[in-house]
């Protein structure tokens, strides 16, 4: 039963990693890219959500963006952790390693 829980967790992480930022964030992604919140178009592609799922962040964006006091840059910085490419690669490598370990244990 414990293995099943770990497998489900890893599959959900894997599905987030396998989706592109435009698939995860839809119109929020488009707004960030069009308004040039970051100096390059790659930075937002590498963000990791802080305490919410991408769907929760997108729902909150849809509720907030039409308010007159809404600030897109502040919104992104509050809800996402900006990471550099090296840290992102490390994170992905750890996930891949965990999937391989669990896959190996299941086959034993």
Question: Which residues, at least 6 apart from 17, have a Cβ–Cβ distance to it below 8 Å?
Answer: 92, 95
State residue 51's pLDDT score.
Answer: 81
Cα 65 from Cα 20, distance rounded (Å)? 22
Q: Confidence band (pLDDT; 50, 70, 90) for 50?
A: confident
| 67 CB-contact burial (10 Å; exposed 0-12 / middle 13-18 / buried 19+) | exposed
Check residues 79 and 50 and name the one with the higher pLDDT: 79
Check residues 27 and 108 and name the one with the higher pLDDT: 27
Helix, coil or strand: residue 69: coil
State residue 31's pLDDT score.
Answer: 95
State residue 58's pLDDT score.
Answer: 94
Q: Confidence band (pLDDT; 50, 70, 90) for 69?
A: very high
Question: Which residues, at least 6 apart from 73, have a Cβ–Cβ distance to it below 8 Å?
Answer: 37
End-to-end distance of the chain based on CA atoms, in angstroms?
Answer: 16
State residue 16's pLDDT score.
Answer: 55
Counting DSSP H helices and E strands in the chain, the numbers are 5, 2
State residue 3's pLDDT score.
Answer: 67
Residues 11-46 pLDDT 10s:
555 555 568 888 889 999 999 999 988 888 888 887
- 14 within 8 A of 45, measured Cβ to Cβ: no
State residue 8's pLDDT score.
Answer: 60
């Amino acid at each position: 039963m414990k293995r099943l829980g770990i497998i489900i967790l890893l599959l959900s992480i894997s599905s987030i990693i396998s989706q592109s930022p435009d698939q995860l964030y839809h119109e929020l992604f488009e707004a960030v890219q069009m308004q040039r919140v970051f100096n390059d178009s790659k930075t937002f592609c590498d963000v990791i959500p802080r305490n919410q799922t991408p769907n929760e962040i997108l729902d909150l964006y849809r509720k907030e963006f039409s308010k007159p006091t809404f600030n897109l840059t502040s919104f992104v910085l509050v809800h996402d952790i900006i990471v550099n490419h090296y840290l992102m690669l490390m994170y992905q490598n750890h996930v891949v390693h965990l999937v391989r370990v669990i896959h190996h244990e299941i086959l034993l």
